[in-house]
A and B are shown apart, each in its own frame.
Chain A
């Protein structure tokens, strides 16, 4: 038991990539959400009966988890939409939590009650990651359409924290909440909760409008935010600075890359996403490149997905670009930004240029 956590992760990743083992799996249990964030890439209406009919059952998700375990899955994420909208989430979680996964949950925390927190506190996941969209009811109304959701989210976070559950807070930064960012950081620090940022907003994966023009930060705004964050953390202790840098690295680069796959994060090579309506994809931002594990079984779906992922054309301009070491490019982002896997996305190019200029 002398291997460090980093050595352990590196060994797992190296073997998983070499052998195509799905080490990570993300189960998007629902596309529905009680909030109405303009910039969301997936959101469906909370009470949409037609959507509910298309969702997979608890028994189907539990069976899928069993199949994923047999394929070697270790890190399992439950995400949405908002998972706590599903009345059967408890049934799914309780069954899957006994299978031997390291489980994480993404939530907006607004539906967490004392009863739910108490239940989770007895059989906690490894991590609950809460997305906080602002530092006031006014900002929440602007971003999520719900003035009351801020107080509910704060209460949810405090209830989970009181149960001793490991929580992280992350914020998707858009124009409507960028003025709140340091208040959100203070909120997390005050509660001794680790904080991370999502500063890339993708166009919706189904191609419909998600107000990018209104809400997405310009490359200039992203850089200004990064510089402000660097200055802020420069005054903090080394420990906090290391955590912040580590978060940024994860957000920007994902897991170590493998040159044999077009996805720098390892999507379709050592991890997969399953959408709420049952498509297995290499990434949550994608929906057209998919296999169907609920129909053909996870083993075959994963095998087929790996083949499909390798067939995605690479962007030659991106591969040969001088900015590539600064760029967030990946096939999923290019497809959503341009409609093609192999055409450069002007937004990402501009962002890379700003990042290089800042570093130089």
Chain B
């Protein structure tokens, strides 16, 4: 899975922000704020990470059980898919 090109992930004033750039502004004119864990997932999805890699990263970075981490990942990916941010 991979997020589409044309987005820049930035940390500004203690907030993670995704900014559309170039042609991407045509289909999405706005900003997306992400939690720290969501920003971690986004940055991995920029490189086309697999679900297992996302899971490993969350389990390494956060004190969280596998079941909860999987639910969080699926929920985040559903949200990205719904907004059209993922390459299918």
Give chain B residues whose Cβ lies under 8 Å from the Cβ of A123. 22-23, 25
Contact, CB under 8 Å: A1 / B25: no
- The main secondary structure of chain A at its interface with chain B is loop
Which one, A14-22, A179-187, A321-329, A343-351, is touching chain B?
Answer: A14-22
User: How many pairs of residues, A versus B, come closer than 8 Å at their CB atoms?
Assistant: 61
Give chain A residues whose Cβ lies under 8 Å from the Cβ of B25. 123-126
Bound together, the chains give a CA A23 to CA B22 distance in angstroms of 20
Bound together, the chains give a CA A1 to CA B75 distance in angstroms of 11
Q: Is A166 an interface residue (CB 8 A)?
A: yes
Chain B count of residues within 8 A CB distance of the other chain: 21
- The main secondary structure of chain B at its interface with chain A is mixed
Bound together, the chains give a CA A98 to CA B6 distance in angstroms of 8
Contact, CB under 8 Å: B32 / A23: no
Contact, CB under 8 Å: A100 / B8: yes
Q: A1-B34, A124-B25 are in contact. Are A99 and B8 (CB under 8 A)?
A: yes
Contact, CB under 8 Å: A102 / B26: no
Within 8 A of A (CB), among B23-58: 23, 25-26, 29-34, 38
Give 9 closest A-B pairs by Cβ, nearest first. Answer: A100-B8, A15-B13, A100-B19, A16-B13, A8-B33, A123-B22, A12-B13, A15-B14, A72-B12
A–B Cβ pairs within 8 angstroms, 17 of them: A1-B33, A1-B38, A11-B14, A15-B14, A15-B15, A19-B13, A21-B12, A72-B12, A72-B13, A74-B12, A97-B21, A97-B22, A100-B8, A122-B23, A123-B25, A125-B25, A164-B26
